[in-house]
Chains A and B, each alone.
Chain A
Amino acid sequence: MDTLSVRIEPSFDSWRIEARKLLEGSVPPDAVLWTDSSSTQFDLFDSGEPPRKKQEVKISKSYLDLARTVSCHSSPERWGLMYRAAWRMVCNGEKNLLQRPTDSDTRKLLEMAKAIRRDCHKMNAFVRFRKVGEYPHTGREQFVAWFEPSHHIIEYNASFFIKRFTGMDWSILSPEKCIHWDGVKLHTSEGVSKSSAPDEDDLEELWRGYYKSIFNPARLKLKAMQAEMPKKYWKNLPEAELIDELTRHSSNRRDDMIKAESLEPRPAPRNLYLQNLHKNNQDFVVNEPGTIHDKSLDELAELAACCRACPLWEKATQTVFGTGNPEARIMLVGEQPGDEEDIQGKPFVGPAGRLLDEALADAGLDREEMYITNAVKHFKWKPGSANRKRRIHDKANRGEIEACKPWLVAEVMKVQPSVIVTLGNTAAQSLIRKDFRILSERGEVNMGNLIGFPGKIIATIHPSWLLRIRDEAEQQAEFKKFTADLKLCRE
């Protein structure tokens, strides 16, 4: 087979034009020798016959993007590799080549692309601008940097600097090519030598001072540092000149700190703010409301915030006490706060709360006029699946319900509603009877003298139960029953 020698400009577009022609002629990769005008390699073979068009060529955009990246690589083999992969996908029926990470061409392409991304990343990180001027009337500043990338990335990577440093003029000089930004357009020019770049900037002294101080000598880890900031970059980083000195003295500085005499704590200064903090941080535990005739609802809420009568406080964010009208005619008692209630510190503000609002509106009741609380005032939760970092509602047990009951009773006695609506089993079991079953006993409950409460009690389901019904028709039917129960507390 004749070998075709293809000589291109070292650019992606130039490769693309030639590659397209070759693919149209289904020329196999072994028959092509790629060279670019930057290489000195001698053409060993005569150019063969130009291919005749045989087939339509369609290359995926994702491959073109990959190839554009790979084309910046410094390896002279890249043109051939890029062509071979394209040929395998277009002419050899291997459409899914890039999906196969164990294929050696795919692997090589991906590794080259990775090297380019890394080189760009390092350029973004290690370019150091030096100020060279400033327009006195506008204040617009001019900066110049010198950078030596490992691959042909200077122009390819320019957009990062354009987008970041739009508001200043800058040039990045390198041995191969230079780029210049004037606020409107990117210009390129031939490469220059390092001596063309400025060699200092007044701010560098401050920057070195920062570098020196942010270093913690007690945790020297040179290898970790060099893995990310290889020595080859050091010569163009103004701070790198400090590394040797900082490293040499670090173990002494650490040992000095370990040996140094320690200091006794100093007493707190007189400051009202501090005194308040200390007072609040005292281990103030209240496990029940105590006498209530001398306390307001707000005071009860403050006390309940310190309740540790059951272990639920430990994993919860805060006590969620009742809120609403302190002279309400109707008091709603739910089960316990959920994830959102726990965070916001208010009852019924999550999904179940929104459903409750809808039902109240349908029943012609105004939430603002009511007092709303829960039978248990801390959020009890268990972890959701390990991957989803969430908290899942967990049912409070008998002991926890009982531990919280004095707070609920205190709220009832304070508010003195005419009607209490219990939502769900937990609330009903706390206030009515330990074995109360909502689904069989819902509606108005006649029960004599409950906790000394003379009013009407209505037991109904909890709105979160509605949220768990999958069947939409059934959910709507149950929602109607729920609002019907709520309507029972209208006068």
Chain B
Amino acid sequence: MDLGRKLEILADAAKYDASCASSGANRRNSMNGKGVGSAGGSGICHSYAPDGRCISLLKILMTNSCMYDCHYCINRRSSNVERARMSPEEVISLTLDFYKRNYIEGLFLSSGIIRDADFTMEMVIRVARELREVHDFRGYIHLKTIPEASQELIEEAGKYADRISINIELPSEKSLRVLAPEKNLHRTQQAMGGIRTKIENAKQEAKEHRQLKIKPTSSFATGQSTQMIVGADDSDDATMLQRSDLLYRGYHLKRVYYSAFSPIPASSSILPSIAPPLIREHRLYQADWLMRFYGFDVSELTPVEGKDTGKLDLDIDPKLAWALRHREAFPIEIHTATREQLLRIPGLGVRNTDRILKARRWSILRLEDLAKLRVNLKKCLPFIITPDHNPIKLGLDSDRLRARFEPAPKQMEFEFMESKSSAVFGEV
């Protein structure tokens, strides 16, 4: 099989992993090196596929042969896809050749599991080690780790990678047992805990080195992330978000990615064959953002009673949905509100909140000032008070207010596509 065909098979096998982030690495460049590569700061998306997803890394598997039988996965052993395997040398030269042409920020390497977890992990690590040590490659490397692999190997992976990840895949033990019989939620979380400890120790060590003004002796990945599949099992949004919250708190993950379960060629008979629930995926990302940057507690994100208990509203964004459930918290006075209160106003983002806090030190803000800050006034108006605006005059009750924001059913897809993809994938 020629390299081109292998690349197609192994990229096709890797594309259901949503993460393509290349941000947050330790800052470095190739100025005093023998090779190429730089990293640090915000990542770069070198291209975009027509699915709107950024292409930042060469994202491939070493092999798509796999012993596991995860039903949602195109590479499971029961699938009849064409199989291929790349040699470490092939992955290395592809990475370097693509990098030198400025197609990519680096490599995201994963693999189907062959023989056993340690054997597979060693194969993946070898590529990263040679890229770093033989070719002095200083671009970004993201390695997928296998929770069943030994701690020593996971630790070694972290030495060469900027980010390591383990996919949790589904939010509950129960779902995993049905859909991924080889996986285990607690084992995965234990491995995440091990990675957290190493990341923190490395950070502590780097800090001590900085204080003593000596060069760091070793490096370690700066973060870990994971992915959860949306819509392959019957878990509701509250269950997914609670799992995310637990992962952020317990294992200090940088990101949880949500990936709408997508129909795959050679699909499993025990899974729904439907178009991917893209809007639900989008709402989960929004809710995740509210948890991480807007001071929302996970329990506030979904209704706790009624027929929609545990479900995010698909028609309107979760912050607006929360505001409609909590009319008593509004309207909020722009000039006197605390940062926490401002962040609760629908349509007001973190950046604009901070701009408002800065601007109101100099003058009392009127609607035209908010417009200058490019605040989404249409969404904010029913919830804010400024010297020239009081929403009580709008006389809107909750139902009419909701109707104002509800999209006509056919426009839903359209509205979703309009939304900024940077908010969805977050790493521009």
Contacts of B246 in A (CB 8 A): 315
A264 and B67 in contact (CB under 8 A), knowing A214-B55, A222-B50, A229-B47?
Answer: no
Check B14 for interface membership: any CB of A closer than 8 A. Answer: yes
B386 within 8 A of A: no
Residues of B within 8 A of A383 (CB): 245, 249, 297-298
Cβ contact within 8 Å between A129 and B53: no
Q: In angstroms, how far is the closest chain B Cβ from the Cβ of A341?
A: 11
Contact of B52 among A209, A221, A280, A318 (CB under 8 A): A221
From residue A114, how far is it (CB to closest CB) to chain B in Å? 11
CA distance A102 to B107 in the complex (A): 42
How far in angstroms is the closest Cβ of chain A from B428? 7
Min CB–CB distance B142 → chain A (angstroms):
15
Q: Is B166 an interface residue (CB 8 A)?
A: no
With A167-B30, A258-B263, A269-B77 known to touch, is A214 a contact of B49 (CB < 8 Å)? yes
Asked whether A143 lies within 8 Å of B268 as measured between CB atoms, the reply is no
Q: Which of A388-412 contact B (CB under 8 A)?
A: 389-391
- The residue in B11, B183, B369 that gathers the most chain A C-beta atoms within 10 A of its C-beta is B11
Instruction: Give Cα A320 to B399, complex, Å.
Output: 51
Give complex CA distance A271, B69 in Å: 14
Q: Please, how many residues of chain A have a CB less than 8 angstroms from a CB on the other chain?
A: 94
A246 to B15, CA, bound (A): 15
B15 touches A213 (CB 8 A): yes
In the complex, B34 has a CB within 8 A of chain A: yes
Closest to B356 in A: A101
**Which A residue's beta carbon lies closest to that of B78?**
A266
Q: Are B80 and A263 in contact (CB under 8 A)?
A: yes
> In this assembly, does A16 line the interface, its C-beta being within 8 Å of a C-beta of chain B?
no
Which residue of chain A is the closest to B246 with respect to CB atoms? Answer: A315
CB within 8 Å of A: which B38-69 residues: 38, 44-55, 58-59, 67, 69
Q: Are A262 and B268 in contact, with the CB atoms below 8 A?
A: yes
A75 at the interface (CB under 8 A from B): no
Given contacts A258-B273, A262-B269, A344-B193, are A209 and B4 in contact (CB under 8 A)? yes
Task: Report Cα–Cα, A228/B297, bound state, in Å.
Answer: 32
Shortest B408–chain A CB gap in Å is 18
Contact of A214 with B15 in the complex, beta carbons under 8 Å:
yes
Q: How far is the CA of A58 from the CA of B140 in the complex (A)?
A: 41
Q: Is A168's CB under 8 angstroms from B100's CB?
A: yes
Q: Quick check: B421 and A317 within 8 Å, CB to CB? A: no
Task: Give the complex CA separation of A432 and B297 in angstroms.
Answer: 39
Q: Which of A203, A221, A343, A389 is the one whose CB lies under 8 Å from B421?
A: A221
Q: Provide the B282-315 mask, 1 if CB < 8 A to any CB of A, else 0.
A: 0000000001100111100000000000000000
Q: Is the CB of B276 within 8 A of A210?
A: no
Residue of B nearest to A266 (CB): B78
Of B152-160, B324-332, B357-365, B388-396, the one with at least 4 CB within 8 A of chain A:
B357-365
Contact in complex: B97, A203 (CB < 8 Å) = yes
Q: In the complex, are the beta carbons of B46 and A126 less than 8 A apart?
A: yes
Q: Per-position contact with A for B59-103: 1 when CB-CB < 8 Å, else 0?
A: 100000001010100000111100000000000001001101111
Distance in angstroms from A454 CB to nearest chain B CB is 38
Q: For chain B, give the interface size range.
A: 35 or more
Q: Which residue of B lies closest to A227 (CB)?
A: B421
**Interface residues in A63-104 (C-beta closer than 8 Å to B):** 96, 99-102, 104
Q: Which residues of A sit under 8 angstroms from B197, Cβ to Cβ?
A: 340, 343-344
Nearest-CB residue, chain A, relative to B247: A389
Quick one: CB contact mask for B201-215 with A, threshold 8 Å, 1 for yes? 000000000000000
B134 at the interface (CB under 8 A from A): no
Query: Is A130 interfacial (CB 8 A cutoff)?
Result: yes
Q: Given that A102-B363, A274-B67, A281-B182 are known contacts, is A210 also in contact with B11, CB under 8 Å in the complex?
A: yes
Q: Please give the distance in Å from A302's CB to the nearest CB on chain B.
A: 14
Task: Type the 1/0 row for A128-165, where 1 means its CB is closer than 8 Å to any CB of B.
Answer: 11110000000001010100000000000000101111
Indicate whether A224 sits within 8 Å of B37 (C-beta atoms), given known contacts A229-B47, A263-B269: no
Residues of A within 8 A of B297 (CB): 383, 386
A218 CB contact (under 8 Å) in B251, B276, B292: B276
Is the pair B260, A219 in contact by a Cβ cutoff of 8 Å? yes
Residues in B whose Cβ lies below 8 Å from that of A219: 51-53, 260, 262, 276, 278
Complex CA gap A220/B251 in Å reads 33
Chain B residues, CB < 8 A from A254: 263, 275
Set of chain B residues within 8 Å of A273, measured between Cβ atoms = 67, 115-117
The answer on a CB contact under 8 Å between B51 and A216 is yes
CA distance A259 to B3 in the complex (A): 31
Task: Report the 9 A-B pairs with minimum CB-CB distance, sorted nearest first.
Answer: A224-B52, A221-B52, A163-B29, A343-B193, A224-B421, A215-B49, A213-B11, A273-B116, A266-B78
Residues of A within 8 A of B (CB): 96, 99-102, 104, 107, 121, 124-131, 141, 143, 145, 160, 162-168, 201, 203, 205-207, 209-225, 227-229, 237, 239, 243, 246-247, 250, 254, 257-260, 262-266, 268-269, 271, 273-274, 277-278, 280-281, 283, 315, 317-318, 339-340, 342-345, 383-384, 386-387, 389-391
Cβ contacts A to B, 6 pairs, < 8 Å: A102-B372, A128-B103, A164-B38, A213-B11, A260-B265, A265-B268
